[in-house]
């Protein structure tokens, strides 16, 4: 008999509920993204959004999965890292369900969940993962019972950089898709600060210079193109450094920014040069959503991981490498 897990994700701007079974099927995956009319994401407003839409998103996830609420064997939630108010709202919902349905509660690391759902989809055993989103830019690989961060941003995340640039030039959140469309009509590249330090990178200098390009009258398409090429080029370099260093043969691209086709092309090229297999996680599983939490919850549960409600405090700064990966053998 397979186990059914409800996963609840609410680390930042999205609230999601997904249902997965222990035989590796995603039965449903529903989310609702908070997108303010103007400006960026305020943690308090986002958490209010989560408590407003939470119950209906969960109800819909149960409905789409065609199961009864009593069929749920476990509830997993995103325990961190993320925005404090959002995490607390999500955790409260998860604890209530665990008590009400009398089922175990599992605390899942958001970044680890992105990797595990990517591995489930691709069949990868041991990839170098490029995890790019609004809040994260990390190159992660498994070594010695942990997912270790080989490289990351020294300042702002790539999605945050794209959104901040977009907001500055009048685009709505999230700005990534619009920047990608604009870039297709570019005719000129303008040099922007390229900052790679070992396997780390920095985007703050690029952001400042990109804003300046636009204020100096460079056409929007050219500015967007220059931002993308520079930012993705840096990312490709650190991913390549991680592959060359670890000699791993699988490259996984995940997170909200994985939806970008240009980034995908570049990383495909990187993988080819090193005879590695490449996989981009499908959009519905790449962004923040509950299915990845549900699936990782199952893996943790099967390995005997449990979380008492009394100990289930959220971990806003929970690092990827602080979670013991008890479910992996080697």
Q: Which residues of the chain form contacts with other proteins (CB under 8 A)?
A: 81-82, 135-136, 141, 143-144, 146, 148-150, 152-155, 157, 189, 191, 194, 196-200, 229-230, 233, 236-237, 240-241, 243-245, 265-270, 272-274, 316-317, 319, 321
Q: Which is nearer to other proteins, 8 or 139 (CB)?
A: 139
In the complex, the smallest distance separating the C-beta of residue 181 from other proteins, rounded to whole angstroms, is: 18
Shortest distance (Å) from residue 92 CB to other proteins: 20
Please, are residues 234 and 194 in contact by the beta-carbon 8 Å criterion? Answer: yes
CB of 266 to other proteins, least distance (A): 5
Nearer to other proteins, 197 or 306 (CB): 197
Instruction: For other proteins, give the closer residue by CB, 62 or 86.
Output: 86
**Nearest approach, Cβ of residue 191 and other proteins (Å):** 7
Q: How far is the CB of 280 from other proteins (least distance, A)?
A: 14
CB of 195 to other proteins, least distance (A): 10
Nearer to other proteins, 55 or 198 (CB): 198
Q: How far is the CB of 57 from other proteins (least distance, A)?
A: 23
Q: Which is nearer to other proteins, 144 or 217 (CB)?
A: 144
Of the pair 112, 266, the CB lying nearest other proteins is at 266
Q: Which is nearer to other proteins, 162 or 236 (CB)?
A: 236
């Amino acid at each position: 008999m397979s186990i059914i897990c409800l996963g609840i994700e609410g680390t930042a701007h999205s609230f999601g509920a997904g249902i997965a079974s222990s035989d590796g099927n995603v039965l449903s995956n529903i989310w609702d993204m908070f997108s303010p009319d103007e400006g960026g994401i305020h943690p308090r407003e986002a958490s209010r959004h989560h408590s407003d839409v939470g119950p209906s998103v969960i109800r819909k996830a149960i409905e789409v999965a065609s199961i009864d609420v009593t069929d749920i064997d476990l509830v997993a939630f995103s325990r961190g890292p993320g925005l404090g108010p959002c995490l607390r709202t999500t955790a409260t919902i998860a604890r209530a369900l665990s008590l009400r349905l009398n089922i175990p509660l599992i605390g899942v690391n958001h970044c680890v969940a992105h990797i595990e759902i990517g591995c489930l989809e691709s069949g990868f055993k041991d990839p170098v993962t490029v995890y790019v989103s609004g809040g994260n830019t990390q190159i992660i690989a498994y070594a010695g019972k942990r997912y270790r961060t080989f490289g990351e941003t020294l300042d702002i995340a790539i999605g945050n950089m794209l959104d901040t640039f977009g907001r500055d030039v009048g685009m709505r959140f999230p700005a990534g898709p619009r920047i990608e469309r604009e870039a297709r009509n570019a005719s000129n590249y303008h040099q922007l600060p390229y900052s790679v330090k070992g396997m780390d990178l920095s985007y703050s200098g690029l952001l400042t210079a990109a804003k300046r390009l636009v204020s100096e009258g460079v056409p929007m398409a050219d500015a967007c193109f220059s931002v993308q090429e520079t930012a993705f080029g840096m990312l490709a370099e650190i991913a390549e450094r991680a592959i060359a260093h670890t000699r791993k043969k699988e490259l996984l691209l995940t997170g909200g920014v994985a939806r970008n086709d240009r980034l995908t092309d570049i990383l495909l090229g990187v993988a080819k040069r090193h005879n590695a297999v490449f996989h981009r996680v499908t959009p519905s599983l790449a962004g923040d959503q509950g299915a990845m939490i549900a699936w990782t919850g199952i893996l943790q549960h099967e390995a005997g991981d449990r979380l008492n409600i009394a100990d289930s405090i959220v971990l806003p700064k929970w690092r990827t490498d602080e979670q013991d990966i008890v479910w992996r053998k080697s």
